[in-house]
Homo-oligomer: A and B are copies of this chain.
Amino acid sequence: MGTLVYVIPLFGVLGILYTVWKTSWVNHKDPGTDKMKKISGYIAEGAMAFLRAEYKVLAIFVVSVALLLAFAADSKDSSPVIAVSFLVGAFCSALAGFIGMRVATKANVRTTNAARSSLAKALEIAFAGGSVMGMGVVGLGVLGLSVLFIIYSNVFGVSNIADLNRVITIITGFSFGASSIALFARVGGGIYTKAADVGADLVGKIEAGIPEDHHLNPATIADNVGDNVGDVAGMGADLFESYVGSIVGTMVLGTAFFGLPEFADKSNGLAAVILPLMIAGVGIVMSFLGTFFVRVKEGGDPQKALNMGEFGSSFLMVIAIYFIIDYMMPSKWVFADPLYGETYTITSLGIFFATVIGLATGILIGIVTEYFTGTGRRPVLGIVHQSITGSATNIIAGLSTGMMSTAIPIVILASAILGSFALGGMYGIAIAAVGMLSNTGIQLAVDAYGPISDNAGGIAEMSELPKEVRKRTDKLDAVGNTTAAIGKGFAIGSAALTALALFGAFMTAAHIRSIDVSKAKVMAGLLFGAMLPYLFSALAMSAVGKAAMAMIEEVRRQFKSIPALSAALKVMKKNQDKDQSEWSEEDKIIFENADGSAEYGKCVDISTKAAIRKMVIPGLLAVFTPVIFGLVGDAEMLGGLLAGVTASGVLMAIFQANAGGAWDNAKKMIEGGVEIEGKMYGKGSNPHKAAVVGDTVGDPFKDTSGPSLNILIKLMAVVSLVIAPLIK
């Protein structure tokens, strides 16, 4: 196996050491006033309560599936040890989510406090919080996978193809574990955050007329908890599984080159299997270096700092990948592909270019995303314009923008598939996904930085800090938008390519040579697969809708039945045009008396219970559908199912994410004041009301169902891969 592979866990350890160091650094920062501490305490408590409740349910699921895996593994191709991989994968995923969310709930209030004095310091803390999530994910991913691979290789041996196949098959359990946790975390977190958000907005902002994040809104803590459990922990688990899935898919496909003469002196024939792990490992170093680029002087541009971190580390990554591939892989080899019965020549340079295609695909899709959802761009301006005639035209415009935005990304993806396949066959597609995800560490840091800044703003508002603090955090929050769009590009692009890599891996494992959609059973599978994202989205959206209604009713109840609260609301309404300093003394006293009278805990409870209850069915659906199709039907029908869910899922994901993003920014544009046909419109105008409707519809689209679909397609592919040896 060579000694090279023993280096890889060290990269993982580096990532984990970073998280320990940065977590302690964040913890030592000043959390601010007592009020800030109290509020952030509520948020942290709510977030941890959710995680506890979620992990309790997941523990049952994970143990049951592990037992099933152990007992089902009776054929010669499968081994009960896969259950161990599954448990470790699930544990690493859960741990990554826990670490990231814990630091996020510390970093938020410290960012607020730093923002009281300086934008630069606030950025530093928010980004540090995000980077803990990012480095934790990649560190645990690389460490977990490489250690398992080393152990299994030594226990079962990898000196012949049968042994190697056994080891790799067992490894796939890790990816399955990560994917299951990811799906539940994304769906549960997504329902949580949007139920709270929609509920808080509709009854607080619109009915009672109090500002977002106001401490008198009982749902506001739940809303801020939601940012952590949905956008931080959910996203972390999401990228963890993409990351792991792309590596595992490539490892499976890499076994095809084992035994080729050109590979004889390349890590004992395992170069293609180890390559994705090595790229990921070195990616940790590059992400680590990238974090040092993110610096901004007082008065400097935070956007530039983030860009420097992301593009700087991507650039370093490309150079590093070139040398890794050049060192590890043979310069040229001839491959008789058993899948297609064709023979072609692959070069190490071709494999390198496939990774570059992967990275470029992520960035290009990100740019398109930015165009269709960015403030001031034509599509969003169109939605703003159509808000003049009311919510109906706003909704139609948003839906059509979201649908329209699918076209170019699909062309990019299709080209990437064709290009990377031409360069390296199915392995080329898989390694492109690895290339795309090689800088996940820094990418996720930037992604998680967003909700931390958002939370920081919420805390500033609830703690009634001076307005300039909120302005600074808003600036931080706004800055992340472009980078977040790029992040979405990576999430969608990597999901598609990873799913394809796993698809190829599944075919290899199931020993089938084609998935012919002209066969009736494959077509039936394809149709059913294409339907799943619809069913899945419907379940997620109706869960959000129903939980939001429960939230609204609870908030209304509190507004009505808690005397201090209703008195304070009346005072606010009476004085709505005045600054608080101009209020009468009596009003001020009534208002202050209400402090702490909102029962946040009840709203937190509603979100938690709804999320936990409603995440179960979508999750089970995703896990068991491929099992049923594979065992009742056959491998080819299951292949049709996967093709259907991938094509339909990628489209629905892009559509929903971009429609939601565009609605969101259309609302923000109007809030900032826009001139249309000579008239000015701003907050509270009719177009603004229409835009708020669009934004609310977009919420579950972009933060609940949309991102879950990325996981759905990968999870179904990895389940198929895991059960492949059991299919006749």
Residues of A whose CB lies within 8 Å of any CB of B are 198, 202, 206, 339-340, 382, 386, 389-393, 395-397, 399-404, 406-407, 410-411, 413-415, 417-418, 421-422, 426, 429, 496, 500, 503-504, 507, 514-531, 534-535, 537-539, 541-542, 544-545, 548-549, 552, 639-640, 643-644, 647-648, 650-651, 655, 692-693, 696-697, 700
Query: CB-CB < 8 A to A386: which residues of B?
Result: 545, 549
Query: CB-CB < 8 A to A643: which residues of B?
Result: 517, 523, 526
Pairwise interchain contact B395-A693, C-beta atoms closer than 8 A: yes
Contact of A700 (CB < 8 Å), options: B396, B537, B647, B650: B396
7 contacts between A and B (CB under 8 A): A206-B390, A400-B537, A401-B538, A403-B537, A421-B521, A496-B527, A693-B693
Contact of A391 (CB < 8 Å), options: B391, B504, B541, B650: B391
Kindly state the separation between the CA atoms of A301 and B194 in the bound complex, as whole angstroms: 47
Kindly state the separation between the CA atoms of A527 and B530 in the bound complex, as whole angstroms: 11
Contact flag A418-B524 (CB < 8 Å), given A393-B545, A397-B542 = yes
Contact of A404 (CB < 8 Å), options: B402, B530, B535: B535
Pairwise interchain contact B527-A399, C-beta atoms closer than 8 A: no
Interface centre among A406, A415, A640 (most CB of B within 10 A): A406
Kindly state the separation between the CA atoms of A537 and B393 in the bound complex, as whole angstroms: 15
Pairwise interchain contact A516-B519, C-beta atoms closer than 8 A: no
Kindly state the separation between the CA atoms of A391 and B396 in the bound complex, as whole angstroms: 13
Query: CB-CB < 8 A to A429: which residues of B?
Result: 520
Least CB distance, A714 to chain B, in whole angstroms: 16
Query: CB-CB < 8 A to A522: which residues of B?
Result: 517
Contact flag A549-B407 (CB < 8 Å), given A399-B541, A516-B514, A541-B400 = no
- With both beta carbons as reference points, the residue of chain B lying nearest to A407 in the complex is identified as B535
Contact of A517 (CB < 8 Å), options: B390, B515, B697: B515
Kindly state the separation between the CA atoms of A647 and B531 in the bound complex, as whole angstroms: 8
Pairwise interchain contact B414-A524, C-beta atoms closer than 8 A: yes
A-B contact sample (10 more), CB < 8 A, given A396-B697, A515-B518: A198-B392, A202-B389, A386-B545, A404-B534, A410-B527, A411-B528, A415-B524, A421-B521, A530-B647, A531-B651
Pairwise interchain contact A545-B397, C-beta atoms closer than 8 A: yes
Query: CB-CB < 8 A to A526: which residues of B?
Result: 517, 643, 647
Query: CB-CB < 8 A to A519: which residues of B?
Result: 340
Pairwise interchain contact A697-B392, C-beta atoms closer than 8 A: yes
Pairwise interchain contact B518-A503, C-beta atoms closer than 8 A: yes
Contact flag A527-B414 (CB < 8 Å), given A534-B403, A535-B403 = yes
Kindly state the separation between the CA atoms of A27 and B477 in the bound complex, as whole angstroms: 68
Query: CB-CB < 8 A to A426: which residues of B?
Result: 520
Query: CB-CB < 8 A to A397: which residues of B?
Result: 542, 545
Query: CB-CB < 8 A to A418: which residues of B?
Result: 520-521, 524
Least CB distance, A441 to chain B, in whole angstroms: 29
Pairwise interchain contact B392-A696, C-beta atoms closer than 8 A: yes
Interface centre among A400, A525, A537 (most CB of B within 10 A): A400
Query: CB-CB < 8 A to A548: which residues of B?
Result: 389, 393
Contact of A518 (CB < 8 Å), options: B395, B401, B514, B528: B514
Kindly state the separation between the CA atoms of A651 and B340 in the bound complex, as whole angstroms: 31
Contact of A530 (CB < 8 Å), options: B516, B528, B648: B648
Least CB distance, A436 to chain B, in whole angstroms: 16
